[in-house]
Amino acid sequence: MSWPFRTIIEPFKIKVVEPIRFTTREERQVILREARYNMFNIRAQDVLIDLLTDSGTAAMSSEQWAVMMRGDNAYAGSTSFYRFEAVVKELTGYQHIIPTHQGRAAEKILFSLVGGQGKCIPSNTHFDTTRANVEFTGAEAVDLVIPEGKQSQAAHPFKGNMDLHKLERLLAAAKPGQVPLCMVTVTNNSGGGQPVSMHNLRETRKLCQQYGVPLFLDACRFAENAFFIKRREPGYQEKATIDIAKEMFRLSDGCTMSAKKDGLVNIGGFLGMNDSGLAQQARNLLILTEGFPTYGGLAGRDLEAIAQGLHEVLDEDYLTYRLRSVEYLAERLRQIGYPLIEPPGGHAVYIDARMLLPHIPATQFPGQSLCSAFFEYGGIRTVEVGNAMFGRTENGKEIPADMDLVRLAIPRRAYTQSHIDYVVEVAEEIYKNRHALRGFRVVKQAPILRHFTIELEPCD
Ligand SMILES: *Cc1c(COP(=O)(O)O)cnc(C)c1O
């Protein structure tokens, strides 16, 4: 639909509401202190606007709730499974569709089968659970995103693209069988939700075919990626997003999918592939950890909701609104003076906290400082993607991460523009007082994935 107005409106009306709880600044100071300034320790009921993640936080549609009622919970041969399978097959073109309870379960099964000591899995950028599942098998996870993908201010329409020269070098140097598959993450979550172009996907495919390596998509945000292609890649403006998505999938041999993102559901995922032998092995593992192949760790109603969600997510009015809401928040923050990862990606806005707060050294967690401020000033929960997440200590010395970012992830269909305007107003207030924000020091931390449980206290 061509929309002649400047205001892009939410393409839905609200039927069910969930109240959000207001707190005072004094209450939030106590909550922060008790949470040891770790956003993961704050209870959801104490959060006014929750921008921690876009995963599993979507609002479902009335149609999704309606189809859930017909969910068939038969242990074997569930009608809901066949409905789900038909939708996913039509979208992806894969021969085999294996439901899982979420994305990482699909990763766990896939890499248990193809990973192992001495193996190497290239990707544009592995998401953290993907990397963890690859490395857990003893294999090596290699990130080969283009150089622009790592520069926050570099202008490029497809900053999630694979560096084809580096991929070719890796494939040419590999021993036979050493690279069991190549992954491409669409959009590139760990790289800021940046899209991958069809051209890049096609060239990646060619290289993989030349070296006999299957190509798998980490397809969590396939619809957002497809819509970026429609918007930005020459030759795709007149194509329907659903056809672009189908083209993306048909350039690959399989995928892992977390339906908690572009499946528009709160739980679910799947593993898809064309290789029948591998699929048989995957189903054997599935039975061990997830369940029988016609439910894979999900209730029949979940399979119904995913099937409907995959249909709704490709609606171009929805995608217009979706990308616009992220862009809108970015525009407003940029106007205030916030340094952002540019251009904004599909699901979140990332603030460069190290650049915003130059008076706080990287070892004192400028990202955590900004997260704390968002919560204290406005009850807004964000997440640090920086030193707490990727920094480490070696011989008692703190080695900081490359960047200190704060991510404001936008849950799908959950908040309205006035919620976002409120976030902007809070951000404005913080910006005025940014010189007063303080750094933090670690009180307690775990040896791995420390950001989930880290305990902090403000520096004096
Ligand atoms: C969320 C995500 C995953 C993992 O999915 P879960 O459903 O959280 O297990 C894998 N890859 C990417 C790119 C993701 O965003």
List pLDDT tens digits, range 113-138. Answer: 999 999 999 999 999 899 999 999 99
Inform me whether the pLDDT recorded for 148 exceeds 80: yes
Number of H helices, E strands in the chain: 16, 16
The answer to whether residues 351 and 369 touch, using CB atoms and an 8 Å cutoff, is: no
Please tell me if the CB atom of residue 102 comes closer than 6 angstroms to any atom of ligand 1. Answer: yes
Distances (CA, A) of 362 to 40, 149, 150, 440, 455: 21, 21, 18, 10, 17
Q: Using one digit for the tens of pLDDT, what is the confidence trace for 407-430?
A: 999 999 999 999 999 999 999 999
Q: Using one digit for the tens of pLDDT, what is the confidence trace for 53-72?
A: 999 999 999 999 999 999 99
Inform me whether the pLDDT recorded for 153 exceeds 90: no
The whole-model pTM stands at 0.95
Going from the Cα of 371 to the center of ligand 1, the distance in angstroms, rounded, reads: 22
Strand partners, 245: none
**If residue 418 lies in a helix (H) or strand (E), which one and from where to where?**
helix 417-432
What single DSSP character describes residue 57? Answer: -
pLDDT band at 367 (very low <50, low <70, confident <90, very high): very high
Q: Poorest-confidence range of 3-12, 224-233, 247-256, 413-422?
A: 3-12
Instruction: Give the pLDDT mean for 170-191.
Output: 95
Q: How far apart are alpha carbons 185 and 83 in whole angstroms? A: 26
Q: Name which of 335, 351, 343, 334 is nearest 409 in CA terms.
A: 351
Going from the Cα of 121 to the center of ligand 1, the distance in angstroms, rounded, reads: 17
Q: How far apart are alpha carbons 384 and 442 in whole angstroms? A: 15
Q: How far apart are alpha carbons 314 and 301 in whole angstroms? A: 21
Inform me whether the pLDDT recorded for 1 exceeds 70: no
Give the amino acid at 38. Answer: N
pLDDT band at 42 (very low <50, low <70, confident <90, very high): very high
Inform me whether the pLDDT recorded for 449 exceeds 80: no
Counting from 1 in the atom list of ligand 1, the atom nearest the Cα of 102 is 7
Mean pLDDT estimate for the chain: 95
Please tell me if the CB atom of residue 53 comes closer than 6 angstroms to any atom of ligand 1. Answer: no
Going from the Cα of 298 to the center of ligand 1, the distance in angstroms, rounded, reads: 17
- The residue whose CA has the least distance to atom 4 of ligand 1 is 103
Q: How far apart are alpha carbons 257 and 448 in whole angstroms? A: 25
pLDDT band at 313 (very low <50, low <70, confident <90, very high): very high
Backbone φ and ψ of 438, nearest 5°: -110, 165
Q: What is the chain's Cα-based Rg?
A: 22
How far from the centroid of its chain's Cα atoms is residue 132's Cα? 15
Instruction: Give the pLDDT mean for 157-168.
Output: 97
Please tell me if the CB atom of residue 220 comes closer than 6 angstroms to any atom of ligand 1. Answer: yes
Please tell me if the CB atom of residue 125 comes closer than 6 angstroms to any atom of ligand 1. Answer: no
Going from the Cα of 300 to the center of ligand 1, the distance in angstroms, rounded, reads: 21
**55, 100, 306, 412: residue to mutate for ligand 1 pocket, most atoms within 8 A of CB:** 55
Give one DSSP letter per residue of 371-417, joined into a string. Answer: HHHHHHHH-EE-EEESHHHH-EEETTEEE--S--EEEEE--TTT--H
Please tell me if the CB atom of residue 127 comes closer than 6 angstroms to any atom of ligand 1. Answer: yes
Q: Using one digit for the tens of pLDDT, what is the confidence trace for 292-309?
A: 999 999 999 999 999 999
Q: Name which of 44, 94, 98, 70 is nearest 375 in CA terms.
A: 44
**What is the pLDDT, as a whole number, of residue 388?**
85
Q: What percent of the chain clears pLDDT 90, i.e. is strictly above it?
A: 88
Q: Using one digit for the tens of pLDDT, what is the confidence trace for 389-401?
A: 878 777 778 788 8
Domains detected in the chain: 25-54+315-458 (3.90.1150.10), 62-312 (3.40.640.10)
**What is the pLDDT, as a whole number, of residue 394?**
77
Q: What percent of the chain clears pLDDT 70, i.e. is strictly above it?
A: 100
- The residue whose CA has the least distance to atom 3 of ligand 1 is 103
**What is the pLDDT, as a whole number, of residue 365?**
94
pLDDT band at 189 (very low <50, low <70, confident <90, very high): confident
Strand partners, 392: 399
Instruction: Give the pLDDT mean for 335-353.
Output: 95
Q: How far apart are alpha carbons 3 and 316 in whole angstroms? A: 11
Please tell me if the CB atom of residue 106 comes closer than 6 angstroms to any atom of ligand 1. Answer: no
Edge-first strand order for the sheet with 383-385 is 348-352, 405-409, 383-385
Going from the Cα of 106 to the center of ligand 1, the distance in angstroms, rounded, reads: 10
**What is the pLDDT, as a whole number, of residue 214?**
98
pLDDT band at 453 (very low <50, low <70, confident <90, very high): confident
Distances (CA, A) of 361 to 176, 408, 431, 441, 445: 46, 22, 18, 11, 19
Q: How far apart are alpha carbons 182 and 203 in whole angstroms? A: 13
Q: Given the DSSP bridges, would you call strands 348-352 and 405-409 parallel, antiparallel or unpaired?
A: antiparallel
Is 404 buried (19+), middle (13-18) or exposed (0-12) by CB count in 10 A? Answer: buried
The answer to whether residues 346 and 323 touch, using CB atoms and an 8 Å cutoff, is: yes
For 158, other C-beta atoms within 10 Å of its C-beta total 24
Q: How far apart are alpha carbons 87 and 90 in whole angstroms? A: 5
Going from the Cα of 107 to the center of ligand 1, the distance in angstroms, rounded, reads: 9
